[in-house]
Amino acid sequence: MKSNPTSTQVRLGIRAHDIGRFSPDELARRVASNGLDRVQLALGKAIEGLEMGPGVIHPAMAGAIGSAFARHGVRIEVLGCYINPIHPDPETRRSLIGLFKEHLRYARSFGCNLVALESGSLNADYSPHPENGGEAAFLDLLEVMQELVEDAEQHGVVVGIEAVSSHVICTPERMRRLLDHIPSPHLQVVFDAVNLLSAENHESQRDIMQRSFGMFGDRIAVAHAKDFREVDGKLRVCPPGSGQLDYALLLGLLSECESVPALILEETHPDHLAASADFIRSMNPWIIS
């Protein structure tokens, strides 16, 4: 697919904790000094001295963090709250769901309207489980997602769901099915092409990306940018432009997708940040920062 400079411009950002763990002001300063103005912020991973748990977020804290980023011209595009929504222990699951709801409740105080998670595993530690792709796991997740989206609707924000090849939402078809069950605009997709790939299917990456955009391109709210290499029969993630992902296809698909305001760099250490950002910008002039 060709690049389209007349498409909606997409801002280039980074997962904040790839920069490091600092005070909000210092973290925002470092992001801006690298020529970026968007972040995905996982509070407990990126904010120095902050240990996440139920009841930790409050309006004053959220406002102070949001203001620190805004002073440096950086928008918090995504709040990352990567809980396991189908944790096998009921009490732990309710606590995690409560934590996610706190992120939804205070997202706007951060200057953000999207809170993201992955679809989880039947194993408590998020490791692959043989039944993650089964019907029971899907229905379990669906019940939780309906609850979270109802909460998001009340607060006027969005739940972002990210597929992973070893989790419950593991294929484009499973994502489409979830979106069909929950047609609310308060449920959107965080698209990460590498996360849908595995040692078994990576040679079909073009088909997987094309199916994804064909099935739910209009529900993608933000996209991730990382890369992969096949090493000894396993996929290893690496910075964008240093691996085997078909970026010409991915960026071409994104250029035609009007709903994506930001492309978030992942697995990009500061030592590799400039090269990765330049690689992506060189391929598509509609990506700006």
One DSSP character per residue, 155-178 reads: HT-EEEEE--TTSSS-SHHHHHHH
Residue pair 113/157 in contact by the 8 Å Cβ criterion: yes
The separation between CA 226 and the C-alpha centre of its own chain, rounded to angstroms, equals: 11
Name which of 197, 90, 100, 209 is nearest 150 in CA terms: 100
Task: Please name the residues in contact with 232: beta carbons below 8 A apart, sequence gap of 6 or more.
Answer: none
* Rounded-to-integer distance, Cα 100 and Cα 95, Å: 9
The separation between CA 73 and the C-alpha centre of its own chain, rounded to angstroms, equals: 21
Adjacent-strand bridge partners of 210: none
Structural domains in the chain, sorted by start: 10-288 (3.20.20.150)
- Report whether pLDDT(130) > 70: yes
Counting every residue, how long is the chain?
A: 289
* Rounded-to-integer distance, Cα 134 and Cα 99, Å: 26
Residue 285: per-residue pLDDT: 67
- Report whether pLDDT(90) > 50: yes
Q: At what angle do helices 135-155 and 172-181 cross, to 10 degrees?
A: 50
Give the mean pLDDT of 236-241. 95
pLDDT in tens, 30-42: 999 999 999 999 9
Q: Which of 31-45, 106-120, 257-271 has the lowest mean pLDDT?
A: 257-271
State which amino acid sits at residue 75: R
Residue 256: per-residue pLDDT: 87
Adjacent-strand bridge partners of 265: 14, 225
- Report whether pLDDT(3) > 80: no
Residue 121: per-residue pLDDT: 98
- Report whether pLDDT(7) > 70: no
Strands 287-288 and 10-15: parallel
Query: To the nearest whole number, what is the mean pLDDT of the chain?
Result: 94
State which amino acid sits at residue 187: L
Give the mean pLDDT of 235-253. 95
